[in-house]
Amino acid sequence: MSTLDSAIRQHRTATATLTLTHASAPIVGQELRLQQLRHKFLFGANWGEETLALVNGELTGPVRELAERRNEAFLRLFNQATLPFYWARFEPERGRPQTERLRNLANWYNEHGCTVKGHPLCWHTLAPDWLLPLDTDEILQAQLDHIRREVSIFAGLVNQWDVVNEAVIMPIFDRYDNGITRLCQKLGRIGLIRAMFEAARAANPQATLLLNDFDVSPAFDILVEGCLAAGVDIDMIGIQSHMHQGYWGVERTLKVLTAFERFNLPLAFTETTILSGELMPPEIVDLNDYQVKEWPSTPEGEQRQAEEAVLHYKTLFAHPAVQAITWWDLTDGGWLNAPAGLLRRDQSPKPAYEALLALIKGEWWLPPTTMTTDAQGQVAFTGFLGDYELRLGSQTFPFTLDQKGPCALTLTL
């Protein structure tokens, strides 16, 4: 067993002893069936415009069939979905947010057993143009109202949020004028982050709130440190890993993990891309500058993507601080038109999809198992942390393995 596999077993599994009783007496010699239902770890992807249109009844014919195939592939592999709350698209006209469309999408994912995260609440990119005529005090009020409204309305459906996105570059962003950069210049990064987190926390105290960034340099490390020193209540650090210019490799990934694990906060890899086609030139600084019409997936690239995806997921799953990995764009042709999907444009699975499925629902999943209780009414097994179901005849009993290592559970039937 490799070092990564050993670490995964150490940090992601529990060795459980289940005791079955009835009226305080052990149930001896009883055959039962165990089945894993869900991982505790969050394996996710972003929503997909086709899914948003599908659940809102906006697709017909072959396009609808493709969207349904995408959804089937999503649910087979993932248990978390990131939903789009880009302000300029969510509320293009002030006072007329697309609440119902997003609520339908959140409901759909919840009904299919997925944890849902909203992305993002505050971001300089895709800030609505109607902020531009406002002064900074008015922009601040509008931004706080936006956070309070969305986090409150979606409480119970969306309980995780990327509250502030890409704050490192926010006050120095100079591609175009926008209200949020102006606001950040006035409040400072930490001042803006504090205000946004306080508004989100007040709107839903039970929500998990993330500070998310693509910048994994010391600049983000220092910003996190400053926020925590200032008393900002961050639940989780979000790290983007867009690898359009090539796979990071284990060494760089571990270096990033080391930089942020010192804060003793959970880490989420919120946007992961690994290409299955030609790589973006290394001299590109802003990935958005690389715009091509045709960017195909190739057989050689697909094999490389599969190998790199497996190693990346194993590296992250082996690290105890990481609690979530989100693949960005399940299907080719999403952000930047890149061949970054696990599915091709026709929704057929690439080798990377099959490889991750073999990990997440194979190697890292307890298959349905038949066991018989011993003289003490006990059975023992090792399983990955998550939700399980015990079946006794026609009866089912749910339970959860929540902590790594040895554990004892008593089920009274």
Residue spans per domain, the chain: 3-38+366-412, 41-351
pLDDT along the chain (413 residues), means of 10: 92 96 90 97 96 96 96 98 98 98 98 98 98 98 98 98 98 97 98 98 98 97 98 98 97 97 98 97 93 94 98 98 97 95 98 98 97 96 97 92 96 85
* Fold observed for domain 41-351: TIM Barrel (3.20.20)
What pLDDT is attached to residue 70? 97
Strand pairing category for 13-22 and 25-26: antiparallel
CA dist., res. 367 & res. 383, Å (int): 10
Name the pTM for this structure. 0.96
CA–CA distance from 83 to each of 90, 109, 164 (Å)? Answer: 11, 10, 15
Whether the CB-CB separation of 246 and 218 falls below 8 Å is answered with no
DSSP string, 128-179: -GGGTTS-HHHHHHHHHHHHHHHHHHTTTT--EEEEEE-TTTGGG--SS--H
Whether the CB-CB separation of 353 and 340 falls below 8 Å is answered with no
Token pair recorded at residue 21: 């009783």
CA dist., res. 201 & res. 244, Å (int): 34
Token pair recorded at residue 58: 């906006």
Summary count for the chain: helices (H), strands (E): 12, 16
Buried b (16+ CB within 10 A) or exposed e, 171-209: bebeeeebbbbbbbeebebbebbbbbbbbbbebbeebbb
Strand pairing category for 386-392 and 31-39: antiparallel
DSSP one-letter code for 184: H
Same fold, 3-38+366-412 and 41-351: no
Whether the CB-CB separation of 80 and 159 falls below 8 Å is answered with no
CA dist., res. 194 & res. 211, Å (int): 11
Alpha helices in 281-336 (DSSP H): 299-317
What pLDDT is attached to residue 1? 61
Give which of 221, 194, 197 is closest to 207, Cα–Cα: 197
Whether the CB-CB separation of 379 and 28 falls below 8 Å is answered with no
CA dist., res. 162 & res. 119, Å (int): 5
Which residue is listed with tokens 């554990």? 407
For residue 400, report the phi and psi dihedrals to the nearest 5 degrees.
-130, 135
| CATH number at 3-38+366-412 | 2.60.40.1120
The full 3-state SS of 31-44, as one line of letters, equals EEEEEEEEECCEEE
